[in-house]
Amino acid sequence: MSEIVLEIKALTRRFGSFTAVDALSLSVNSGEVFGLLGSNGAGKTTTIKMLTTLLPPSSGDALVAGCSITTQSLGVRRAIGYVPQAVSVDGSLTGYENLLIFSKLYEIPHREQQTRIREALDFMGLTADRDRLVGQYSGGMIRRLEIAQATLHRPRVLFLDEPTVGLDPIARDAVWKRLIDLRSHYGTTLFFTTHYLEEAESHCDRIAIMNRGKMAALGTCKELETALGEGHTLGDVFVHYAGRSLHSGDTFRSVASERATAQRLG
Ligand SMILES: Nc1ncnc2c1ncn2[C@@H]1O[C@H](COP(=O)(O)OP(=O)(O)OP(=O)(O)O)[C@@H](O)[C@H]1O
Ligand SMILES: [Mg+2]
């Protein structure tokens, strides 16, 4: 049986009287590619923020690589990488300089820093562009640099919040090729959110669909399609479990932040 690297136990987050994440429980195996889906405002980013220790849960807990997000946040932070929904690299520095800062932040021993940076650039296909200012990178290159940055310390679990939003299909494929290489080479577990169903279908071992903070469905794409009956697509599965039309749940905040992200990447 596969080893469990992420165990989420009744994880809950309230903002005032509103419950954004409601008693979410699920386990992810080491080396798995796991997709978290759901309409705008379903609670995906809030979940990832709790799992990466950036936001304390109101109740419940999660173990990441055996460390509790509530009592062992330092252990969790050492075991994870995080590519947030918003841009997380500095456009006024080169790709190399961005990685150098993070290699220090992650306390990678001085004698290993240059090798790690070289490998990370190579792995993400950015060696030729290492000395260019990131402000001149395309959206796809920025995302690949962010992944290089988030994996310099070889985390066991990489969390990615909408890693391909705003990218054209070719740039999206390039990002995914590198992510899958990362999984094959280092056994990195990938836990990501997306609104692109075809991305979930092509790359995920399993998916979960959230609806108003609760888990509405969990399984492989095939299992969820079959459970609805013959001839159903993942689109049908999403509409069935996500529970509403795509735009009825939008808030100004979520739309503004998503558009801003897409624009900056795009
Ligand atoms: N700091 C906050 N204060 C109050 N409400 C918040 C806060 N952060 C998130 N929320 C609310 O919690 C809900 C879940 O938000 P979250 O960002 O987790 O959704 P999401 O599934 O990531 O959506 P999207 O697909 O648009 O990124 C939303 O209704 C949002 O408005
Ligand atoms: Mg989000």
Q: Tell me what the pLDDT averaged over the chain comes to.
A: 91
pLDDT in tens, 137-193: 999 999 999 999 999 999 999 999 999 988 888 889 989 998 999 999 999 999 999
- The per-residue pLDDT for 256 is 45
Q: What percent of the chain has pLDDT over 90?
A: 83
Ligand 1 centre from 127 Cα, in Å? 36
- pLDDT of 255 above 80: no
Is ligand 1 within 6 A of the CB of residue 24?
no
What average pLDDT score do residues 200-211 get?
Answer: 97
User: Residue 244 — very low, low, confident or very high, per pLDDT cuts 50/70/90?
Assistant: low
User: Residue 112 — very low, low, confident or very high, per pLDDT cuts 50/70/90?
Assistant: very high
Rg (CA), the chain: 18
CA 13 – CA 21 distance, rounded (Å): 5
CA 67 – CA 75 distance, rounded (Å): 6
CA 181 – CA 106 distance, rounded (Å): 22
Q: What percent of the chain has pLDDT over 70?
A: 91
- pLDDT of 118 above 70: yes
What average pLDDT score do residues 99-108 get?
Answer: 94
Phi, psi at residue 248, to the nearest 5°? -65, -25
The pairing of beta strand 80-83 with beta strand 157-161: parallel
Ligand 1: residue of 14, 44, 212 to mutate (most ligand atoms within 8 A of CB) is 44
Residue nearest atom 6 of ligand 1, based on CA coordinates: 15
- The per-residue pLDDT for 1 is 53
Count of CA atoms in the C-beta half-sphere (13 A) of 177: 11
Q: How many structural domains is the chain composed of?
A: 1
- Proximal ligand: closest to the CA of 46: 1
CA 224 – CA 112 distance, rounded (Å): 45
Phi, psi at residue 169, to the nearest 5°? -60, -35
Is ligand 1 within 6 A of the CB of residue 41?
yes
Is ligand 1 within 6 A of the CB of residue 19?
no
Is ligand 1 within 6 A of the CB of residue 246?
no
Q: Which atom of ligand 1 is nearest to the CA of 195?
A: 25
Closest CA to 205 of 227, 183, 185, 226: 183
Beta carbons within 8 Å of 233's beta carbon, 6+ residues apart:
225
pLDDT in tens, 71-89: 999 999 999 999 998 899 9
Task: Classify 230 as helix, strand or coil.
Answer: coil
Q: Which residue range(s) make up the domain with 115?
A: 4-265
- The per-residue pLDDT for 2 is 73
| One-character DSSP codes across 99-138 | HHHHHHHTT--HHHHHHHHHHHHHHTT-GGGTTSBGGGS-
Residue nearest atom 19 of ligand 1, based on CA coordinates: 41
- pLDDT of 264 above 50: yes
Residue nearest atom 26 of ligand 1, based on CA coordinates: 40
CATH number at residue 41: 3.40.50.300
